[in-house]
Amino acid sequence: MSERLITEIQSFQPYTAEESAAKEELLTLLQVHGTRLLDRDCPAGHITCSGFILSPDLRETLMAYHLIYQSVGWTGGHADGEDDLLGVALREAREETSVTQICPQSRRILSIDILPVPPHEKHGKPVAPHLHYNVTYGLIAPKQQKIADKPDENRNVMWLDTQDIAKHCTELQMLPIYEKLVCRMRKIDAEKAEIPMKMLAPLLAWYPLHKRDLPWRKDGEPYHVWVSEIMLQQTRVEAVKGYYKRFLDALPDVQALAECPEDRLLKLWEGLGYYNRVRNMQKAAVQIMTEHSGQFPQDYDSIRKLSGIGDYTAGAVSSICFGLPEPAVDGNVLRVMARLQEDYRNILSPQCKAGITAQLRKVYPHADCGMLTQALMELGAMVCVPNGAPHCGACPLAGICMARQQGSTDMLPVREKKINRRTEERTVFVLQCGGRVAIRRRKGKGLLASLWELPNTEGFLEVQEAVQFCEKWGVKPQQAEKTVERRHVFTHITWELRGVFLQCAAESPEFVWASPQELEETYSLPTAFRCVLT
């Protein structure tokens, strides 16, 4: 017996006495026949799975004319031994319509129906009359995508207004089923829409008691919040604390940032990566000094126009520092909202982010805006965590979380597949002469633009090849001390690095020769190269 299957059927909450009877009959048959009920040759009938597909606005349904029933109807098919019934419904929907963008509205079963199937032919062979124990799920598919027939089963795949189903469906016994499915999917949609407002009171009561003591939360100074938010992108909170203090000690205000020499600025940012971020921060600081008389702008649109500031950072500064009703929607917030509303959309899609931002913008005026922004961030970072199971027992919103109710927290959020990183092999030369190491500037465009680097070349060179390669620079390589193997991962590329340490007899003018102290205090050497030295 499949525990998964039993749990799935038991989770269905019948709306009518007829549905309750269908559920009990199905559970009884599962006790008698077990997983054989998933196969077509089970004499008692077998389980089928349907997906009732609606457009995002729930006004139109995607249906097809089925050759067996000679009528327009939903998508669906036999379980064929598979106990993941929702997975079967999704598979059949894709196969029968060719849609690729489709997701569940919820994991919950919408309906269980016992459907008699008349005698018919399939692939030229007669099929005797039998029963389908049909389990139905609600699915959502955007209309702006290609649809196509499955020639051996259907034709005329089409979008229909839900009010027009009866004009096309000749199976009169199916019309009440379709009608109840539309109503139930709209009811679920209404439940989801209520979640953002319901979360306010418990979330805002929880936050003051459980928030972390973080340095950038001390005073609500926009410069401090801005610096922290830029640093926290792609970097853990604990790691940022030290960088944050060092940065503010050196550059305590906007004017200091605007006037900071680039080399010193990059050195202060060293270890955080993504150096264009700090370059953009300096550009924004110059904007504030020249366009806003040195005062940080206090409205969302002006903040959003600053160099390097996107919707999220503008929302964070606007709400936390100035109490404006502007959400700050990042990965933490998207994950929290996806689970609360059991939202199976790809959270990395612009449409999903825009939709959640619009929802939150409606509820922000009813809350302390700065506290709400930080509470959502904190919940996502500490409770509804990104890696591993969420800590539902500690969550103030567990009682209203739809994913928790449906047992689907492990399925959410949905993310598009990560881009496959290409891999490059590089030989990095640690050229040493008189206690100094050779470094040089990278080109002004592309990866790590204008930063300092250790001399390097594409491909892996053996030691003797490396010695010969370096002779062209006039450094007079004498001997190789050692080699090391390192890896550095960027967003879209991985560098496999072979570091070759060479003692040299001459300091070539092609390079800047830096002492260990200068490498530590003066020159900003990206982690991609610094890792070779350690």
Report yes or no: 149 and 156 within 8 Å, Cβ to Cβ: yes
Beta partners for 453? 440
Closest to 440 (Cα-Cα) out of 463, 426, 460, 456: 456
End-to-end CA distance of the chain: 56
CA 285, 350, 367 angle in degrees (round to 5)?
A: 70
Distance CA 352, CA 348 (A): 7
Cis amide leading into 413 (omega within 30): yes
- As separate numbers, helices (DSSP H) first and strands (DSSP E) second, the chain gives 19, 17
What three-state secondary structure class fits 472? coil
Give DSSP secondary structure letters for 169-229. ---GGGHHHHHHHHHHHHHHHHHHHHHHHHHHHHHHHHHHHH----GGGSS--HHHHHHHH
Place of tokens 């203090």: 245
H-assigned helices in 34-132: 85-97
Q: Which phi-psi region, left, alpha or beta, contains residue 337 (left: φ > 0; alpha: ψ -120 to 50)?
A: alpha
296-335: burial string, b at 16+ Cβ within 10 Å, e else: bbeebebbbebebbebbbbbbbbbbbbebbbbbbbbbbbb
Task: Report CA 333 to chain centroid distance, whole Å.
Answer: 10
Mode of pairing for the β-strands spanning 452-453 and 436-441: antiparallel
Local structure of residue 210 (DSSP, 8 states): H
- Which residues participate in catalysis according to the annotation? 229
What three-state secondary structure class fits 511? coil
N residues, the chain: 534
What three-state secondary structure class fits 337? helix
Structure tokens at 49: 């799975």
Structure tokens at 273: 């990566």
The widest CA-to-CA distance across the chain, in whole angstroms, is 92
Burial class (CB in 10 A: 0-12, 13-18, 19+), 410: exposed
Distance CA 330, CA 252 (A): 27
Distance CA 418, CA 290 (A): 41
Structure tokens at 106: 């919820």
- Give the CA dihedral 84, 85, 91, 95, nearest 10 degrees: 140
CA 68, 72, 74 angle in degrees (round to 5)?
A: 90
Report yes or no: 119 and 127 within 8 Å, Cβ to Cβ: yes
